[in-house]
Structure 1
Amino acid sequence: MLNAFEVFTTVVVGLMVGVEFSVAFVVNPILDGLPGDSGLRGRTHGARMLGTLMPFWYIGSLVLSAVWAVAGWHHQGAGLVVGAAALLIVSVIMSLLLLVPINNRSKAWTSENLPGDWKEQLHRWDRFHYVRVAVIITAFALLAAALG
């Protein structure tokens, strides 16, 4: 039963990594290349949509990893799972302190109410997001290694 839970947890975290990697390296670059405010509208819609979904996914991934760490404490790879859970904690803290505040501001932006530094804020969000993606990729890799 633990093996199925381990695989399930790894898949959940892996899918989250895939979404966040796609946002960073596919979706946002595409939106940034659109003319006018089309890209901004896409990013604000994404901020609303993913801003609603991702907190559950991040917290859920952390909880699943913590349960795996506790349930598999005496199994091979437990240290890798603890490391992955620690990195997921870092990703949640980064999200709350660095990314969510920018996201909360940007999701209400329209062409009429843009702050003067809106591009800088989006670029700051992107830089923080790249770091967060690296953190969750590492967490995923640790979970995948713990399966072996």
Structure 2
Amino acid sequence: MLVRAVKAVALLSTGLLAGAFGYGAVNVAYAFRAVPLDVRFTFHTALMQVNGPVMQTTMGLAVLGSLLLAVVSRGVPRLLAAGAAVLALASFLITRFGNVPINGQIKQWAVTSAPPDHAAILQRWETFHVLRTSAAFIAFLLVVLLATGLGDRRGKSGTVR
């Protein structure tokens, strides 16, 4: 029963993380490019105020859920779960040290003006976003493999030991 609960938490949290970042990469990033810069900066700032606590919690749960799954697993499933935990942690670190500082700059631009090199800075933000989204998606894929039994080389049972 504990293993199923841990597996469910890991699956849900990594799925939410990958989905939220994926939605941002596919929809929000393209919408940002379609509006004037002042609108983008204002919306980006408002979005980050809401996203900050939500995404940090989601990343924390993804790391914790995957790490717990590694603890209750054996063999290849343990390695896959540990890999998912490392990737979820990577998405947090990329966010914290890549995207968040740029978010602070964008917040300032919303009330002043963008510097001449703003396009390069925004491109760097998007690069960090692609990296964290990729890490989150691969973490989710690893947990899906475990949840479906595909990551278990023993075959039929699909149980995690």
Shorter-normalised TM range:
0.7 to 0.9
The 2-side partners of 1:56 and 1:7 are apart by 17
The 2-side partners of 1:117 and 1:127 are apart by 16
Identity of counterpart residues, as a percentage? 27
The 1-side partners of 2:129 and 2:110 are apart by 22
* Aligned 8 A contact 2:16 2:58 in 1: no
Structure 1 residue 37 displacement after superposition: 2.1
Q: Which runs of 5+ in 1 are unaligned?
A: none
The 2-side partners of 1:36 and 1:135 are apart by 29
**1:24-78 Cα distance to aligned partner (Å, 9 max, x none):** 1111211220245222221221222212321222122101111111122x37622
- Matching residue's letter, 1:14: G
Structure 1 residue 3 displacement after superposition: 1.1
In 2 relative to 1, CA 36–137 (structure 1 residues): closer, same or farther, beyond 3 Å?
Answer: closer
Structure 1 residue 85 displacement after superposition: 0.9
For 2:72, the equivalent position in structure 1 comes to: 71
For 2:60, the equivalent position in structure 1 comes to: 59
When normalised by structure 1's length, the TM-score is 0.87
For 2:101, the equivalent position in structure 1 comes to: 101
Q: Which has the larger radius of gyration?
A: 2
The 2-side partners of 1:132 and 1:34 are apart by 24
When normalised by structure 2's length, the TM-score is 0.81
Structure 1 residue 6 displacement after superposition: 0.3
The 1-side partners of 2:59 and 2:121 are apart by 23
Partner-residue secondary structure (3-state), 1:63: helix
Structure 1 residue 124 displacement after superposition: 0.8
In 2 relative to 1, CA 98–36 (structure 1 residues): closer, same or farther, beyond 3 Å?
Answer: closer
- Matching residue's letter, 2:137: I
Task: List 4+ stretches of structure 1 deviating above 4 A.
Answer: none
